[in-house]
Structure 1
């Protein structure tokens, strides 16, 4: 697909007129009209409702606009990466285990491929343990979980916290919920125990370990219940809610944090890459 046609289409859509697009794209009105017509013919769809004074997107035009913005942003990003001066240096990066999975790890991998002279050292740990190291400057950048959401740092996205159990889970006869949780100071653990105690529900720790994969396996096997997010739901699991006697949970916020007075140019460039993926809603 011709990128110049997409750029002109975006300019028309955002300016709501061909006249606005001519100024933004530095083209004549006849050229803008011709490019929009070519785009519509290539797609076989009407993209704009035109009047003498303005134009607005059709339903198909709105779909194309959403995709076109992402395509142009990604192409511009790719072009700028190859044009910019290669960086050098070392980035100390940290994140909880479960946020180094796809698609976020692709951001780090892509940055490492383009910036071959930048070393990225990744530390995995709990958010509450990582935060002091960011504040002291020992860690340049970190992805942190915040429960409840605080808005601190650069918020990337929010997730609903849920109770996860195996599909055939049944409440124990003694009424004490078996739990699989990460040891303190895990925020998921704190959330789960606080919610159960506030609801007056008895609990016991069936599994305590630092591996989220081991915790998910324990849940799938029916050994225990845990608190994670909706994205952690697997085919062999189900979500427990108020109908099952479990208290409702809030949300977690995943945010990007940087060391105070960060001067690491490579780290600052990585921040922009991460924010760019956030804006494209790829996390």
Structure 2
């Protein structure tokens, strides 16, 4: 197996871009003979003539032009790896706040992508409910937060808008029972609107689980002891979207909003914002909408 050497490729790129060995040697802080030897070894390794030396100046052959495209990419990738893994500027910690119910499936993917790009930066994930996350962000305890809201506050950015849906146990019948048994978090922002719509539809209801634990809610619902509401597309695999055929009221849409994208925040912060945008936009088709003002 033959392996290309990055140092040799760097010399090849320098000669091709500067138009001669002398200028390239000065740029690389090497002697002309050292650069010429590297080029010779590269041609011998590939068994190709990379330069046309018939004229007064060095020109690339067709093979040389083709190699130059790859060489630039390989040198750039090498430099990016070294920078990301060793540059002290990319060390530190960033706090990301995300509501419990939208952590999956997007956030694990975002964290994986971010770690690959900035392995020395720690992301502290704060999973809570929207009201608390907005309070923490206002105090400066979170650098970036996502929220689930019917509206949006100044300084926020709407990533996507999705409807709420009823969820229950796979093949369950709890949604047919009256009074309708509900499981909700104590601080759930969906709860007041859902209850208002049930009242408007004349459907009796009873909150049988009121807790701070999403796991408790999921366990109760998956046991077919109650139903719950979630943003469409965020329901876990052990719960099903209820196809109620009009027996339950249709629920309003909610926005997934981002706070903390503005200002001169730096490359690391901006990269995490970019990953979050793409994660929540990928299947939505809703244009980003920045909201400004007091």
TM-score tier by shorter-chain length is 0.5 to 0.7
State how far apart, in whole Å, the 2-side matches of 1:282 and 1:250 are.
Answer: 16
Alpha-carbon spacing, 1:105–1:124, altered in 2? closer, same or farther (3 Å): same
User: For each residue in 1:102-121, what CA deviation from the matched residue of structure 2 results, as whole angstroms up to 9, or x when unmatched?
Assistant: 33322122212321222221
Quick check: 1:215 aligned with 2:217? yes
5 Å matches for 1:56-205? Answer: 82=81, 87-147=90-150, 153-166=156-169, 167-169=171-173, 171-172=176-177, 175-184=178-187, 186-205=188-207
Correspondent of 2:271 among 265, 269, 272: 269
Mark the structure with the bigger radius of gyration: 2
TM-score, length of structure 1 as denominator length:
0.60
> 4+ runs of 1 displaced by more than 6 Å?
149-152
Partner of 1:38: none
Alpha-carbon spacing, 1:222–1:193, altered in 2? closer, same or farther (3 Å): same
Alpha-carbon spacing, 1:133–1:99, altered in 2? closer, same or farther (3 Å): same
State how far apart, in whole Å, the 1-side matches of 2:208 and 2:254 are.
Answer: 24
Length, aligned pairs only: 203
Alpha-carbon spacing, 1:89–1:237, altered in 2? closer, same or farther (3 Å): closer
State how far apart, in whole Å, the 1-side matches of 2:230 and 2:280 are.
Answer: 21
User: For each residue in 1:34-82, what CA deviation from the matched residue of structure 2 results, as whole angstroms up to 9, or x when unmatched?
Assistant: xxxxxxxxxxxxxxxxxxxxxxxxxxxxxxxxxxxxxxxxx9xx96964
Partner of 1:258: 260
State how far apart, in whole Å, the 1-side matches of 2:122 and 2:107 are.
Answer: 18
TM-score, length of structure 2 as denominator length:
0.58
8 Å CA contact 2:181, 2:205 repeated in 1: yes
8 Å CA contact 2:97, 2:125 repeated in 1: yes
| Uncovered stretches (5+) of structure 1, i.e. residues with no partner | 1-74
- Shift of the alpha carbon at 1:243? 2.8
State how far apart, in whole Å, the 1-side matches of 2:202 and 2:166 are.
Answer: 16
- Shift of the alpha carbon at 1:242? 5.6
8 Å CA contact 2:160, 2:281 repeated in 1: no
State how far apart, in whole Å, the 2-side matches of 1:226 and 1:276 are.
Answer: 28
- Shift of the alpha carbon at 1:234? 4.7
What value does the CA root-mean-square deviation take over the aligned residues?
A: 3.3
- Shift of the alpha carbon at 1:251? 1.2
Partner of 1:230: 232
- Shift of the alpha carbon at 1:126? 0.1
State how far apart, in whole Å, the 1-side matches of 2:280 and 2:181 are.
Answer: 36
| Uncovered stretches (5+) of structure 2, i.e. residues with no partner | 1-72, 286-294
